[in-house]
Structure 1
Amino acid sequence: MAATGRERILQAAAELFAAQGFAATSTREIAERAGVRQPSLYAHFKVKSDILLELLVETLRPAVSQADVLMLSPLPARDRLVALLDFDIRALFAGRRPVAVLGLLPEVRGPEFAEAHELRERLRTGYTALIRDVLTALGHPPGEEYLRRISGIVFAVVESINLRRYEDPSLTVDDAVRDTTTAILRILGA
């Protein structure tokens, strides 16, 4: 099935934003790369920031849903964390490659990106809760400050997958899952 105009716009925008930055990319360039006319682009997205918001939200939403499911799962804490890592990393690989990294750009701090910020914070909260459960199961219930710091490290490692993947195109999803999960479990002493 051929990609829709909307899908082509999103893919073109992801590629251009990654290559030259959000601010330096014009809607005209996005339309040209997508093979659509600029009025067609505006029929799908009112402004350029709406395109980036859509890219960020589609990247975050599945992992947030999975974290919500795993929070209620009867699996042991370590298994739930490993399951979230596996799901999140595989979702990052399946999505538009550079998008998660774009969520950290200064241009994305504005209120027009509130939905993406809320989803990212929900995902971070899910990771934090699972990390708390893992450390508690290991007999080391963390204090709030330590939990905040260690979960920040873990979250940064997961988010860095997109940068690592961008720098090393030969990186496979299985290697990324294995390497990242092993590193995080070692960080946690699990």
Structure 2
Amino acid sequence: MGNGGSRRPGRGGRERVLAAARTLFATRGINATTMEDVAAQAPVSKRTLYAHFPTKDDLVLAQLRALAETGDTLHAVLTREDIPARDRLLAMFDIPAPAAGPVRGCPFVDAAAEFPDPDSAAHSYARTQKLLMLRLVFDLVTELGVVQPEVLAQQLVTLADGAASRAMVLDDAGYGCHARAAATTLIEHAERRSTE
């Protein structure tokens, strides 16, 4: 009979902890959520929680990675090949209304704001995701034949992040329509490469 203390924590507990963290971080914020709050929401024992995530920083980073891996971010729509490039770009401005609770902005911007040290793991990961978003938008803008794709890509990601932030501050999921209108104008008036 093996020693119960040497067993590895079960995967179900880890998934429950990540789901609880996702909900609590979105509704309360990262810094306002304690590890005890996450354990109670999961529900798992503190021992199980700390077996999976020794520190809160470990949990935050794992939760951000899980968000990116599950495709529940803007990256998912930007990489869909069944939707034209222009429509994917404009989908960045469709801010989802939460099932419950307030409208939250981009989880990566939220994490960077709550971990302001640019060298912290959470801030660094958020930056990586934002740079990935820029690259995906750049690729789509290039596909549209825009002469200066880097300029338009920077403008569009700035509009998308700004719209998500204002939607969160104003608790208005519909706020993205204003940025979408501006993005449409930028895309339509961007100079295109000659096809000749």
Q: Which residue of the partner structure matches residue 141 of structure 2?
A: 131
Q: Which residue of the partner structure matches residue 171 of structure 2?
A: 167
Give the number of the structure whose alpha-carbon radius of gyration is greater. Answer: 2
For 1:27-83, what per-residue CA distance to the aligned partner results, in whole angstroms no more than 9, with x for missing partners? 11211222211111112222212222222223334354664575xx9x8xxx21313
TM-score by length of 2: 0.60
Q: Which residue of the partner structure matches residue 185 of structure 1?
A: 184
Amino acid at match of 1:118: T
Asked whether 1:142 is paired with 2:143, we answer no
Deviation at 1:107, TM superposition (A): 0.7
The partner residue of 2:13 within 5, 27, 47 is 5
Unaligned 5+ segments in structure 1 are: none
Q: Which has the higher contact order (CA 8 A, sep 6+)?
A: 1
> Judging changes above 3 Å, is the alpha-carbon distance between structure 1 residues 88 and 37 closer, same or farther for their aligned structure 2 residues?
farther
> 1:162 & 1:57 partners in 2: Cα distance?
23
Amino acid at match of 2:158: I
> Are the equivalent residues in 2 in contact too, given 1:10–1:55 (CA < 8 A)?
yes
Moved more, 79-88 or 109-118: 79-88
Equivalenced residues, count: 169
TM-score by length of 1: 0.62
More helix by share: 1
> Judging changes above 3 Å, is the alpha-carbon distance between structure 1 residues 106 and 124 closer, same or farther for their aligned structure 2 residues?
same
Asked whether 1:24 is paired with 2:24, we answer no
Unaligned 5+ segments in structure 2 are: 1-10, 190-196
Q: Which residue of the partner structure matches residue 132 of structure 2?
A: 122
